[in-house]
Amino acid sequence: MSSEATSSDYVDDELRGEDFGPSIDDNALAAAARQARLPFDRPTEHELAFFPELWEHKTAVEVFLLIRNSTLATWQYNPQKECTASDVRNNIFPPFNSDLDLIQNVVHFLTRHGLINFGRYVRSTRITRFLVRDRRKVIIIGAGAAGISAAIQLISTGFDVTILEGRGRIGGRVHSFKTKSGQVMETGGDTLRKLEDSPMTTLLHQVSLEEHGVYDYTTIYVDGKPLNDDKIHIFLTHYESAKGALNWEAHQREHRDENGLFVSRQRAYENLMNLSERSTLIKYFNHCKSLEEVARAREKHYNQMKNLRNTALMAENRLKKLEEQGLLDNDPIMRRSLKRDVATSIQKFDEVSNAFEAADNHWKLLNEHPQAKQFMHPGSDFNTYNFMLGFEEYLIGAQLEKVQFSCDSAVNKEHGVAARLTEGVAELLLRITQRRNLDIHLNHKVVDIDYSGVDDVKVKVQKKDGEIEELTAAIVISTLPIGVLKKSISGDARAPTFTPPVPAEKAKSIRNMGSGLINKCILEFDKAFWATGSRANNQSTQFVTVSPNIRTRGSLSIWSSTPGSKVLTTYMVGDSCKDSPDDVIIQRALQTLHKVFGNNCPRTPLSAHITRWHEDEFAFGSGSFMSLRTEKSDFDELMKPLKTSDGKNRVYFAGEHTSSSYAATIQGAWMSGARAAADIANDYVGFGFVDMSGTKNVKGEDEEGGDMHIDHDGPLPEGMLADGQQANGGVVNGEIPEAKKAKIDN
């Protein structure tokens, strides 16, 4: 997989022939901006820095947003074809389509920052090379999602890219392989999440792969039996509100312990649980107190009623008796007094009986609504609730004791549209790179990155046969995973060295960042005995088995498969199964399956694969997470380039761990590669955008004929220019004399 990329590398006959033309209304524009993770109604700070005229007038902002969102909509409508200024112009109503320079600049800006014209698409414009050959050479370390994304972006910006990959394959922590019977096993990242605003959605449009939706909470088995929907609803409601409370707290103030470390997510949940238990106990106490008080009042009223009744009866009897004996005829005072006693007692009786009735109703009500003494039953309820936390561990890729409490998996993983691919996610990366003639050197393990020179970087590689080779480039991008970087700074011989060592601040951020671990137990059977999602409903299978042991709540409990597959995958988070031998893990997995499926689950699988990402010398873990030490600023420090002694940025950093919003995901890795490529283009090619190709198209010139795109508007420094070009010489309004075109494009 080598040789220089040319524009024709991007012309893919399979993809040709699609038309463009989205129906652009306000909703479509807003949706296009959302899909690109941009606010639809205001420019970002980054955009304001590139388009300073936006500071000047509100109208300028409105026109810019219309053009920007229309450009995104045009691209997203048909991402198999390059989105050019003329395409965008055709989709904007006059008079807003009259500023061709602005449209062109927006197209360039969005292209450079990997928001349009990325992945695999038919290119209709030619690539311009701005820098002389040895100034434009970039070495990318790692052919994972980040490295591939950076390479594709840089090539289309006119850089010469070589990728050095230690493994004998591309994809890095995304890896699928086929078993002897042709079943796909995915050992690394398998689910594309938040597809509603992910660049992976565009990549999926560009290549045709069968996708299946993933619904995270499906059937939950406790002790081999499915939990009823009401119970699931109760747990989910409580879990969601606990998570909401944590998120709310996370925005209130920082929570650190006496050592300055963030409170862990586990402790935060425990605190919430304790609060819930406490408030349940208080409610129980108050309930009991009310019951007792009401019972006492009821009894008191009852006794009073009894006394009053007796008093009334006695007075009435006496009255009757004295009347019969004729003793009251001469004693009217006595008669009145006895009559009053009767009347008063009856009146009081009525009052007290009302009070008794109220107390009695209250007493019945309290008995009808007993108050629980415990918020959660310490047995099965607690385990099920803990499973929810285990699920979070699976999403984050680390045990919650190690994760800082404000790290919310929902931000980039839990909610939104998620999908798995029948062919595996690695197939997506493979197809994106196909026919790109990327210069990838497999089995080239980087052992040293030397940026001690004046204006270039030396990269030492060890080949498969052990031979050491030194390569030189003007620029290097490291996509070394966080686990590898941690080994590098601790002097582990299996990881590459940096010469000189990375600055103390960067080393500190590498240490601060968490390196998580998800391993998989992948089992192949001769037939699927679980309820497989059908291809028709396009749904992946996912079910969970709640672990009775809280310590292993995130392990061997989530099971997944795709429709038609005979492979079932389960996950092991953190250290719980790290040291267990393969056969022990497989037996445990089978026992769990037996509990649910009985004899339908065979005693042995056809084949099994257990991953050991923690021992993999090209990963040393599965992904980053926000540990108790991670500060937001660590992400900035992790992506900060290293300089050579000429003061120029030379070693750039990409990889999922440099993506603060999408860390530990495939899309985070992809976006980080595009970000690093944009940083390089901005540093080396400059900020100015001048291009008149839009004007040419207005005159009816043919884009396929090879428009020249020039990305600089000021004199480039001597020595940085392409072979034979003078500083700004020959470039007039972006037009280049014919004779110079060939030299500049090289």
Ligand X SMILES: Cc1cc2nc3c(=O)[nH]c(=O)nc-3n(C[C@H](O)[C@H](O)[C@H](O)COP(=O)(O)OP(=O)(O)OC[C@H]3O[C@@H](n4cnc5c(N)ncnc54)[C@H](O)[C@@H]3O)c2cc1C
Contact footprint for ligand X (CB under 6 A): 141-147, 164-167, 172-174, 188-191, 193, 445-446, 479-481, 484, 496, 518, 520, 613, 618-619, 622-623, 655-656, 664-666, 669
- CB nearer to ligand X: give 43 or 188: 188
Contact 425/186 with Cβ under 8 angstroms? Answer: yes
Q: What secondary structure does DSSP assign to 100-167, as a single string? A: HHHHHHHHHHHHHTTSSS-SS-B--SPPP--S-GGGSEEEEE--BHHHHHHHHHHHHTT-EEEEE-SS
Report the candidate in 569, 482, 572, 557 with the shortest Cα–Cα distance to residue 518: 572
- CB nearer to ligand X: give 623 or 694: 623
Report the candidate in 348, 352, 344 with the shortest Cα–Cα distance to residue 302: 352
SS (H, E, C) 357-368: HHHHHHHHHHHH
What is the Cα Rg of the chain in Å? 36
CB atoms within 10 A of CB 216: 16
Distance, in Å, from the CA atom of 348 to the CA atom of 354, rounded to the nearest integer, reads 10
The answer for residues whose C-beta is within 8 angstroms of residue 31's C-beta and 6 or more apart is 73
To the nearest whole angstrom, how small is the minimum distance from the Cβ of residue 663 to ligand X?
Answer: 8
To the nearest whole angstrom, how small is the minimum distance from the Cβ of residue 635 to ligand X?
Answer: 13
- CB nearer to ligand X: give 356 or 625: 625
Distance, in Å, from the CA atom of 212 to the CA atom of 200, rounded to the nearest integer, reads 14
To the nearest whole angstrom, how small is the minimum distance from the Cβ of residue 406 to ligand X?
Answer: 20
Eight-state DSSP code of residue 627: B
To the nearest whole angstrom, how small is the minimum distance from the Cβ of residue 250 to ligand X?
Answer: 22
Widest distance between CA atoms in the chain = 145
CA 225 to chain centre: 31
Q: In the chain, count of helices (H) and strands (E)?
A: 20, 23
To the nearest whole angstrom, how small is the minimum distance from the Cβ of residue 717 to ligand X?
Answer: 32
To the nearest whole angstrom, how small is the minimum distance from the Cβ of residue 206 to ligand X?
Answer: 18
- CB nearer to ligand X: give 174 or 690: 174
- CB nearer to ligand X: give 308 or 568: 568
SS (H, E, C) 645-712: CCCCEEEEECCHHHCCCCCCCHHHHHHHHHHHHHHHHHHHCCCCCCCCHHHHHHCCCCHHHCCCCCCC
CA 290 to chain centre: 48
To the nearest whole angstrom, how small is the minimum distance from the Cβ of residue 148 to ligand X?
Answer: 8
Strand residue runs (E) in 223-341: 225-226
3-state helix, strand, coil in the chain (%, to 5): 45, 15, 40
Distance, in Å, from the CA atom of 495 to the CA atom of 445, rounded to the nearest integer, reads 9
- CB nearer to ligand X: give 375 or 618: 618
User: Is 675 labeled as ligand-binding?
Assistant: no
- CB nearer to ligand X: give 346 or 442: 442
CB atoms within 10 A of CB 470: 10
Residue with the two structure tokens 């060592």: 501
Q: How far is CA 696 from CA 692, 702, 718, in A?
A: 6, 8, 29
User: Is 656 labeled as ligand-binding?
Assistant: yes
To the nearest whole angstrom, how small is the minimum distance from the Cβ of residue 3 to ligand X?
Answer: 21
* Backbone phi and psi for residue 157, each to the nearest 5 degrees, phi listed first: -95, 0
- CB nearer to ligand X: give 50 or 625: 625
User: Is 650 labeled as ligand-binding?
Assistant: no
To the nearest whole angstrom, how small is the minimum distance from the Cβ of residue 534 to ligand X?
Answer: 22
To the nearest whole angstrom, how small is the minimum distance from the Cβ of residue 513 to ligand X?
Answer: 13
- CB nearer to ligand X: give 343 or 468: 468
* Backbone phi and psi for residue 245, each to the nearest 5 degrees, phi listed first: -65, -40
Residue with the two structure tokens 């052919």: 143
- CB nearer to ligand X: give 268 or 419: 419
To the nearest whole angstrom, how small is the minimum distance from the Cβ of residue 420 to ligand X?
Answer: 8
**Is the previous residue joined to 503 through a cis bond, with omega within 30 degrees of 0?**
no
To the nearest whole angstrom, how small is the minimum distance from the Cβ of residue 415 to ligand X?
Answer: 14
To the nearest whole angstrom, how small is the minimum distance from the Cβ of residue 512 to ligand X?
Answer: 18
- CB nearer to ligand X: give 97 or 162: 162
Distance, in Å, from the CA atom of 76 to the CA atom of 564, rounded to the nearest integer, reads 31
- CB nearer to ligand X: give 239 or 618: 618
- CB nearer to ligand X: give 207 or 638: 638
- CB nearer to ligand X: give 201 or 383: 201
The residue type found at 730 is G
Strand residue runs (E) in 443-517: 445-450, 457-462, 468-473, 475-478, 497-499, 514-516
- CB nearer to ligand X: give 446 or 577: 446
To the nearest whole angstrom, how small is the minimum distance from the Cβ of residue 611 to ligand X?
Answer: 6
To the nearest whole angstrom, how small is the minimum distance from the Cβ of residue 56 to ligand X?
Answer: 40
Give me the helix-helix angle, 666-684 and 632-639, nearest 10°: 50
CB atoms within 10 A of CB 343: 12
Q: Count CA within 13 A, CB hemisphere, residue 388.
A: 21
Calculate the dihedral angle through the C-alpha atoms of 185, 191, 195, 198, rounding to the nearest 10 degrees. -90
Report the candidate in 131, 121, 152, 98 with the shortest Cα–Cα distance to residue 20: 121
Distance, in Å, from the CA atom of 457 to the CA atom of 649, rounded to the nearest integer, reads 11
**Binding residue numbers:** 167, 173, 656
**Binding residue numbers for FAD:** 167, 173, 656
